[in-house]
Structure 1
Amino acid sequence: MDLISLVERIGEAPTAALFGLATGITFGVAAQRSRFCLRAATVEFARGRMEDKVAVWLLTFSTALVWVQAAQMLGLMDAADARMMAVPGSWSGAIIGGLMFGTGMVLARGCSGRLLVLAATGNLRSVVSGLIFAVVAQMSLSGLLSPARDRIAALWITEGGRNMDLLAATGLPPYAGLVLGALIAVLALVLARRHRIGAARLVFASGVGFAVALGWVLTYALPQVAFDPVQIESATFTGPSAHTLMFFLDRDAVLEFDIGLVPGVFIGAMLAAWFAGEMRLQAFDGPATMRKAMIGAALMGFGGMLAGGCAIGAGVTGGSIFVGTAWTALFFMWVGAMATDYLIDQRSEAVTA
């Protein structure tokens, strides 16, 4: 069945949700099997090591760049039409939100995407943290916290009514993104070989990057045959978590890509963990850990919405199309995470040693 026939049979909104489901399942399986996690990579880097966690993150990021830039060169998508590129971005939001998100993911012991994957495997800590993250994200989007988010975001915005395309702004040729992705992939594979990372884990790590490209390509194809406007987007978890929460609470909510994405990740991660025999219930270690996780989840909810995306949405999805504020947010997520690990976790470990 071709895309036109699919849209005619089930409608545009259900097709978008189906594309989200496919993207989510691909992401969930790959993320669970590769143990992809930005928080783990930043902590490893902060402690002076570049081992398996950094290698997996670099491979995911690089393969997202390669897949997405190749798709664009083949005409399968156009980054200029992506929503995060077509609207103004916030530099102040990327900086402050990125710092908050980076701090939060260290306190919560996982970014929003990682929490969703862990929740699917029976991690009750991640279930609680994920719900807090979604509620605070919704409050930041259109609730009690939205005025504060709007004020901070308005402090410094991109010029020209659009976000900044880093490739265009630097005058680099269209293939520069593909070359950069290939170079980072080489570095990731060198680290992987040095630390003897298995081939299966590397394949799944690249699968996370492929899921990002899949989302871009699918949502770009849909508007070509749809009558109503359809957002061109891919994997991210701040807005989609809030939208999915409201979908089950609001009778007037409609199907969209986001509504398929979050359940898809959960289903994919759960199936991957089930077949690998890794399903097990896990809870908080104690009250202190619970407090840190709850504070971290709240910081990620507000910070991710302020930054224009989470560790996946800004860090990989936005980064793959060279959105200026996405790369800025990613950088400050690393800064916030490394500082939090040094000031809180490392000092706590030193005291108890």
Structure 2
Amino acid sequence: MDIIPLVEWIGEGPAAALFGLATGVIFGVAAQRSRFCLRAATVEFARGAMGDRVAVWLLTFSTALVWVQAAALLGFMRPEDARMMAVPGSWSGAIIGGLMFGAGMVLARGCSGRLLVLAATGNLRSVVSGLIFAVVAQMTLSGWLAPARDRLAALWITEGGQNVNLLTWAGLPQWGGLALGAGFAVLALEIARRNRIGVSWLVFASGVGFAVAVGWVFTFALSQIAFEPVPIESVTFTGPSARTLMFTLDRYALLEFDVGLVPGVFLGAFAAAWWAGELKFQGFENEVNMRKAMIGAALMGFGGMLAGGCAIGAGVTGGSIFVATAWTALFCMWIGAMLTDLLVDQRGLAQPA
């Protein structure tokens, strides 16, 4: 992929933002049409079902593994160069932040990526929750909450000055990640078959995983020719939401991949919803739901930044290159979400009217 003419024409920063925009559009369209949502999958699983939401999430996760690992084998990216792999990871941050994020996405009725997609379709609940999420994420990144994040993250750090590659740790060959992804995909397709999920729905679910691979390939290609260091990254929403918010408030802020990603997801989801006739304004049903959503958004903002990524950033993007703390965070998100559903939502349903 020769991107040199484009970079020479518009510059490195605008090129990075353009790649983020393209990645975001693919993600937004696919996520809106597939109804991809980790929160929905965990709730469904917590209530003893292996339905369409679990199938969609598992297919997205597995196809991300397949696409990204195939790209690595073909030389289109190097997982060891990715930002989240090349720096020390935090086991304590992954555990504590993952539990907080999982609880928050149940209370807010969607993870950060899902909130952005829903906001593009006219869901005002998601607009409010998304803004709170972005503000708290920024506070956790470099504001008043940053010292607390630093202390919690420092409790247990990976050794060796970098994160742990699960494939290397397990002694698996280079193609081991691709094989694992294919195995998960077979399981996802079997669950989808039992739930009679249509082909188009499955195609869009796999498109979410494809968007993750596109982001990795774009940023890796740019890093190979850029004069200034370029972070090798892909789809995530904790850091990008905070940086996009600051970009709109600071006229001197620099263009980067993250700044293009968030608007791209919004535009892609909006276009997909408009094409399907699904644009509709929605608000909070009552004060209780509003309060839960605001608390959940705040938990996701802090938890996602502490965990090193959100349900997408850690759960799919980091998982696709087998970052150990990302897999840990994903597991804890599932646990936090299922416990919150059990203690809050299911208990509420069981109470007499």
> Please, which runs of 5 or more residues in structure 1 have no aligned partner?
none
Structure-1-length-normalised TM-score:
0.99
C-alpha distance in 2, partners of 1:223/1:53? 36
Equivalent position of 2:318 in the other structure: 318
What is the count of residue pairs matched by the alignment?
353
Q: Give how far 1:76 is off.
A: 0.3
Does residue 82 of the first structure (1) align with residue 82 of the second (2)? yes
Paired position in structure 1 for 2:309: 309
Matches within 5 A, 1:95-114: 95-114=95-114
- Paired residue type of 1:163: N
Kindly provide the CA deviation profile for residues 171-196 of structure 1, in whole angstroms up to 9, marking residues without a partner as x.
11111111111111011101111111
Which letter maps to 2:313? G
**What is the rounded CA distance, in whole Å, between the counterparts of 1:352 and 1:192 in structure 2?**
35
SS at match of 1:345: helix
Partner of residue 344, structure 1 = 344
User: Which residue number corresponds to residue 152 of structure 1?
Assistant: 152
Q: In the aligned structure 1, how far is the partner of 2:82 from the partner of 2:194?
A: 38
Matched residue of 2:94: which SS?
Answer: helix
1:251: how far off?
A: 2.0
Code of the aligned partner of 2:40: A
Corresponding residue for 2:278? 278
Cα distance in 2 for partners of 1:132, 1:52 equals 30
Q: What is the distance in 2 between the residues matched to 1:223 and 1:120?
A: 31
Aligned partner of residue 20 in structure 2, secondary structure: helix
1:2 Cα deviation after fit:
3.9
Amino acid at match of 2:243: H
Partner of 1:17: 17
Q: Which runs of 5+ in 2 are unaligned?
A: none
Distance in 1, matches of 2:127 and 2:352, equals 28
Q: After TM superposition, list the pairs within 5 Å mapping 1:246-257 onto structure 2.
A: 246-257=246-257
Paired AA for residue 242 in structure 1? A
CA shift, 1:225, in A, is: 1.4
Displacement of 1:102: 0.1
Deviations 1:235-287 (A, max 9, x none): 00000000000000012210000000000000000000000000000000000
2:167 aligned with 1:167: yes
Cα deviation code 1:92-121 (max 9, x no counterpart)? 000000000000000000000000000000
Moved more, 217-226 or 86-95: 217-226
Which residue matches 1:185?
185
Aligned to 2:143: 143
The amino acid across from 2:234 in the alignment is: S
* Residues in 1 aligned to 2:303 and 2:175: alpha-carbon distance in whole angstroms: 32
Superposed, 1:195-210 pairs within 5 Å as: 195-210=195-210
Quote the offset at 1:46 in angstroms. 0.2
**CA apart distance, 1:223:** 1.3
Q: Does 1:6 align with 2:6?
A: yes
Partners of 1:154 and 1:94 in 2: CA distance: 11
SS for the counterpart of 1:248 is helix
In the TM superposition, residue 320 of structure 1 has moved relative to its aligned partner by: 0.1
Name the stretch that deviates more: 186-195 or 115-124. 186-195
1:248 and 1:270 map into 2 onto residues whose CA distance is 20
The alignment partner of 2:26 has SS state of helix
Q: Secondary structure at the match of 1:331?
A: helix
Separation in 1, partners of 2:141, 2:272 = 32
Q: Once the 2 structures are TM-superposed, how far is the Cα of residue 352 of structure 1 from its aligned partner?
A: 3.7
Letter in structure 1 aligned against 2:292: K
Q: Distance in 1 between matches of 2:6 and 2:290?
A: 45
| Residue identity opposite 1:107 in structure 2 | L
Provide the C-alpha distance between the structure 2 equivalents of 1:186 and 1:323, rounded to a whole number of angstroms.
22
Percent sequence identity is 79
The Cα offsets for residues 314-340 of structure 1, whole Å up to 9 and x where unpaired, read as 000000000010000000000000000
Q: Distance in 2 between matches of 1:99 and 1:352?
A: 29
**Displacement, 1:170?**
1.0
